[in-house]
Amino acid sequence: MQKPGKPEPRSLLVDQPVIASDRIPARDRTKPITEEELWTLLDEVKDPEVPAVSVVELGIVRRIAEEDGEWVVDVTPTYSGCPATEMIEQSIVEALQLAGVRNGRIRRVLTPAWTTDWITDTGREKLREFGIAPPQGSASKLSLTGMDETVICPICGSEDTQRVSEFGSTACKALYRCLDCHEPFDYFKCI
Amino acid sequence: MSNDITQNEALQEYLLRLADSDMILGQRLCELCGKAPALEEEMALMNVALDLVGQARNWYEYAAELLDDGRSADDLAFRRDAQYYRNALMVEQPNGDYAVTMARQFFFDAWHYFTLQALTKAPDERIASIAAKATKESQYHLRRSSEWVRRLGDGTEESHERMQAAVDDLWRFTGDMIEADEVERQMFEAGIGPDPEQLVADWKGLVNEVLTEATLTPPPEGAWMYRGAKEGHHTEHLGFILAEMQFLPRAYPDAKTW
């Protein structure tokens, strides 16, 4: 029986395929593709580790530009050792090819370093809906040796939460629990 | 190391030191996969290791380009023997109990953070960009490891004793890590690396602050220090780490990535 005040259990499985090829919108291939269309296209490529948000919403696609007749997509990894980096790059290339862009390539850009400040508002909202607390505050305000952010529970909205571990299931997340609804949740940590 | 090395040689050497320290500590931490004291700690340790191995790869790739002798980043990591490794003695020390694991991490993180911060201002864009990425990760590692030093130091009688013992035991490897040699002085003069004196002052300042907060006694000034990693003289532990880490690529050199 559902206890009063306890949120409905939600499935964390995503019903949308992760692979971009299943989701790219159809387009008129007789016309050359525009930069705007490419942004829309890449907004369909999901982060394999956080499939609720796209690589555009996460802010890891920094720039799309045509250079000497070639489409160059600037991608910045979230973490130096992020194991999803290659897979994301591969998904982007695949999406480009399926949209008919034969002359596209990825350029890995390390600077400026990716920050959670680049996650879009839509991205943050989708993270919350997915059950991951979005990063709170600005990355620049963190202290060197202290951890004192207030993290709001993405399930019941309570501020009474507690950090269980500085790291969660992936490098970009920390593990928290809510002291009100007692649910554990991931926090997309601020860097 | 002779005094008349070129700046390019010094840079290659310096990059290998950064890469090797990241790589060896990453490998050390991975030994705890499946046997960390708690699940949350295991996730944290493996994530820190992942960051370090990722950073090592970035440094190795750049070093391989500068060396330009046909060796790849993987060759640098997996086909050099102990005497060619340039990691700090600190990071090759065994995991010990959790106080040792976290004290070692804290000493390293403090050095790593201040070093990386200086490297973000390097005129060499490649170095600055790798450091800009790594410095954020390192800051997070430092917050975590300093918290553990405080928690264990200012914890129970037993945890205090163990953390004090870990600090006392690992202290002799700090000099090798934080004090500059000719290569590092040359890097500073080239505007790339940190100011050697400033680095030592920053490191000691932070370490003393955290140890004091943790109710631990900092070891005395002028304590005897092990040295030699910068010339390839390591403690006996490195060979065992490399034997495990390098076995597969050496035994199956034709193996490709999956």
pLDDT per position as a tens digit, B93-127: 999 999 999 999 999 999 999 999 999 999 999 99
| pLDDT on residue A12 | 44
B223 in any annotated domain: yes
Residue B80 lies in a domain: yes
Contact A144 B132 (CB under 8 A): no
Which of A14-18, A133-137, B102-106, B234-238 shows the lowest mean pLDDT across its residues? A14-18
Domain carrying residue B126: 7-251
pLDDT band at A142 (very low <50, low <70, confident <90, very high): low
The pLDDT value recorded for residue B231 is 94
- Name the token pair of A29: 């291939």
Average pLDDT of the residues in A3-10: 54
Q: What is the pLDDT of residues A39-95, one digit of tens each?
A: 999 999 998 888 889 999 999 999 999 999 899 999 998 888 888 888 899 999 999
B residues 206-245 closer than 8 Å to A (CB): 206, 210
Residue B4 has pLDDT above 80, yes or no: no
| B51·A81 Cβ contact <8 A | yes
Enumerate residues 6+ apart whose C-beta is below 8 A from A7.
A155, A156, A181, A183
What pLDDT does B254 receive? 81
For A12-16, A102-106, A176-180, B173-177, which range has the lowest pLDDT when averaged over its residues? A12-16
Q: Pick B27 or A19 by higher pLDDT.
A: B27
The answer to whether position B1 is within a domain reads: no
Comparison of pLDDT for A27 and B73, the residue scoring more: B73
Least confident of A75-79, B9-13, B57-61, B155-159: A75-79
B93 three-state secondary structure = coil
Residue B256 banded pLDDT, cuts 50, 70, 90: confident
- What residues in A contact B131, CB-CB < 8 Å? none
Q: What is the DSSP string of A122-160?
A: HHHHHHHHHTEEPP-S-GGG--SS--------TTT--S-
Cβ pair A164:B58 closer than 8 A: no
Q: Which residues of A touch B137 (CB under 8 A)?
A: 79-80, 191
Q: Which own/partner contact pairs does B27-30 have at CB distance under 8 Å and 24+ positions apart?
A: B27/B53, B27/B241, B27/B244, B27/B245, B28/B91, B28/B92, B28/B93, B28/B94, B28/B95, B28/B241, B29/B95, B29/B101
What pTM, to 2 d.p., does this model score?
0.87
Report the number of distinct structural domains present in chain B.
Answer: 1
pLDDT of residue A24: 57
* CA A190/CA B4 separation, integer angstroms: 45
pLDDT at residue B152, as a whole number: 97
Residue A143 or residue B117, greater confidence? B117
The ranges assigned to domains in chain A are: 20-108, 119-139+148-188
| CA–CA dist B117, B135 (Å, integer) | 6
Task: Work out the average pLDDT over A123-137.
Answer: 90
The minimal CB distance from B51 to the residues A80, A114, A165 is found for A80
When pLDDT is averaged across residues B132-136 and rounded to a whole number, the result is 92
Q: Is A77 part of the contact surface with chain B (CB cutoff 8 Å)?
A: yes
Query: What's the pLDDT band for B46 if we cut at 50, 70, 90?
Result: very high
Contact B50 A171 (CB under 8 A): yes
CA nearest to B40 within chain A: A165
State the average pLDDT for chain B: 95
Query: Which class does domain A20-108 fall in?
Result: alpha beta
What mean pLDDT is predicted for residues A169-178?
87
| Poorest-pLDDT segment among A99-103, A107-111, A139-143, B232-236 | A139-143
Give me the CATH number covering residue B34: 1.20.1260.10
Encoded tokens for B28:
């050390």
| Residue A17 contacts residue A23 (beta carbons within 8 Å) | yes
3-state secondary structure of A67: strand
CA pair distance B79, B71, nearest whole angstrom: 9
Q: What number of H helices and E strands is found in chain A?
A: 3, 7
Comparing C-alpha atoms, which of B206, B78, B213, B76 is closest to residue B151? B213
A48 SS3 class: coil
pLDDT interval class at A172 (50, 70, 90): confident
Average pLDDT of every residue of chain A: 82
Confidence of residue B68 (pLDDT cuts 50, 70, 90): very high
Q: Quick one: what percent of chain A has pLDDT higher than 90?
A: 40
Residue B216 DSSP code: P
Residue B116 lies in a domain: yes
In the numeric block, the tokens 């600005």 are attached to: A138
Reported confidence tier of residue B232, pLDDT bands at 50, 70, 90: very high
Tokens at B116, concatenated: 């990386």
